[in-house]
Amino acid sequence: MTARTGGEDDATRGVGLSSKLLVLTVLFVMIAEILIFVPSVANFRLNWLGDRLAAAQTAALVIEAAPDGMIPRALEREVLAQIGVHTISVKHGDTRRLLAFSDMPPMVDSSVDLRTTTSFEAIIEAFGTLLAQQPRTIRAVGAHPRQGDFIEIVMDETPLRTAMLRFARNITILSLIISAITAALVYVALLWMFVRPMRRMHANMMAFRAAPEEPGRVIVPSLRRDEIGQAEVELQRMQRELQGTLQQKTHLAALGLAVAKINHDLRNILASAQLFSDRLTTVKDPTVQRLMPKVLGALDRAIALCQATLAYGKAVEPPPTRRRFPLAPLVDEVGTVLGLSEEGPIAWVVRIDRSLEIDADPDQLFRVLLNLGRNAVQALEAIEDRSGRRDSVTVRARREGSVVIIEMADTGPGVPDAARARLFQPFTGSQRRGGTGLGLPIAAELVKGHGGAITLAEGTLGATFLVTVPDRPIELAERRVERARA
């Protein structure tokens, strides 16, 4: 399937970037050559006419210098033939004089005055000459050496058109050669600087897509410091982050499968333990009667937790079943499950008003405090030198309006700075060898389901976590009924 997909990509990709670049380069160079070609042809026409006028000026000087202004008719025709014109005339002051003319001067089809012709007019007239279908006769006027005078000639346009076509052909061939060389140089430069690095990045993306978890598929940036080099660096960073995410998801998938297997057997074992515990309730021993409700409650809670174990793997916890209840007894039960007391080596100190009530799901809040308490105990037990130490885990709580704030503080080494940024991310927040890194993420998700939050307090001795749980918003009428009952 992968091979077919790659073939489809090659088939649907169409013209490559290098081919498009070559076509655009040739096109742009040709446009530049055309912009040079057009004024060049127009300028060639003006220069050609200027040369004929210059030759006519020389002939006019010779004719005017002849005795009585008369020259033999045969010589006059020869001069006109050498210049390639039909007539030569000059203007002196208010007098206009025809110096030489052919036997039958033709009718003039168009005129051009080199003294006043603009560049745009020169271009239009040049293309008119090139595109003329029939032979034409033109009249050209130029400046005379004497100020205020001018000289004009009448001539056939065919020699001019022939010369212009020859010039256009030559400049077109030269333009094509220059365009080809320039396009090749520009293409090679752009291919080397841009297309080849982009092809390399594209090939790396395709290889990385085929096996994103292989470290060898991550691109190695070149030493370029321009935008291409920056793009390679960013691509490498993105690929590494994606590899980390994929590895984490693979870990989650493997953990989910293992938890599913363990959950099935553990639930059966706990159900059997629950049956045995039910029989112990008939024992008359006072200690058994005092402890059995807590044991049964712990078993019920463990069975319910097993049934919802996979919920975290789906990134969804069941919505809390909230009710108002006293907070202090729940905190006492957490200490009992952790095996802590106020007189033990690690003291479990509860500083909560016994009348303080909280609006929460008791089982989910129990899991939150149990995870926080277990992390605190593990941090304290990890201290190597415990001689002469008596550590403690202190739980305080207070109500601020409609929000209950629970504070759990320990006297341990605190949370390292390196772990603070990833404290509530699965599998990354644990600093203890063998820890899963799931306790705090689970607790944070459960509190979030109540509309609250867990934060790590700054500037405290040891680690201090603050759990805020807001009351449910209720209608004003319900609140009045509760106050009346109170």
Tens-place pLDDT, residues 350-398: 999 999 999 999 999 998 998 899 888 888 888 877 676 788 999 999 9
What's the predicted TM-score (pTM) here?
0.45
Mean pLDDT (whole number) for 170-197: 82
Tell me what pLDDT residue 435 has.
47
What pLDDT score does 396 carry? Answer: 96
The CA-CA-CA angle for residues 379, 385, 389, to 5°, reads: 80
What is the mean predicted confidence (pLDDT) over 223-245?
A: 86
Determine the average pLDDT of the residues in 82-92: 86
pLDDT in tens, 279-289: 666 677 777 67
Model confidence at 309: pLDDT above 70? no
Q: Virtual CA dihedral for 374, 291, 306, 260, nearest 10 degrees?
A: 80
Residues 6+ apart with CB under 8 A from 130: 41, 161, 164, 165, 168
Q: How far apart are CA 274 and CA 262, in angstroms?
A: 18
H helix or E strand, kind and range, residue 465 = strand 464-470
CA 213/CA 440 separation, integer angstroms? 28
Among candidate residues 433, 411, 408, 429, the one with its CA nearest the CA of residue 420: 429
More confident residue, 11 or 219: 219
CA distance 441 to 426: 6
Instruction: Flag whether pLDDT at 272 surpasses 60.
Output: no
Q: What are phi and psi of 346, to 5 degrees?
A: -115, 110
Which pLDDT belongs to residue 400?
94
- In the prediction, which pLDDT does 105 show? 72
- Pick the residue with more confidence: 47 or 178? 47
The percentage of residues in the chain with a pLDDT greater than 70, rounded to a whole number, is 79
Q: Are 461 and 390 in contact (CB under 8 A)?
A: no
pLDDT tens across 313-347, in order?
Answer: 454 567 899 999 999 999 999 888 888 888 888 89
- Which residues touch 348 (CB under 8 Å, ≥6 apart)? 335, 338, 340, 341, 342, 373, 392, 393, 395
In the predicted model, is pLDDT for residue 51 greater than 80? yes
Render pLDDT for 412-447 as a digit per residue (tens, 0 to 9): 888 887 777 778 776 555 555 544 566 788 888 899
- Helix or strand holding residue 244 (H, E): helix 227-280
Q: Would you say residue 276 has pLDDT above 80?
A: no
Highest averaged pLDDT of the listed ranges 11-15, 180-184, 368-372, 392-396: 392-396
Cβ-Cβ contacts under 8 Å for 323 (sequence gap 6 or more):
359, 360, 361, 362
Do 100 and 87 meet the contact criterion of CB atoms below 8 Å apart?
yes
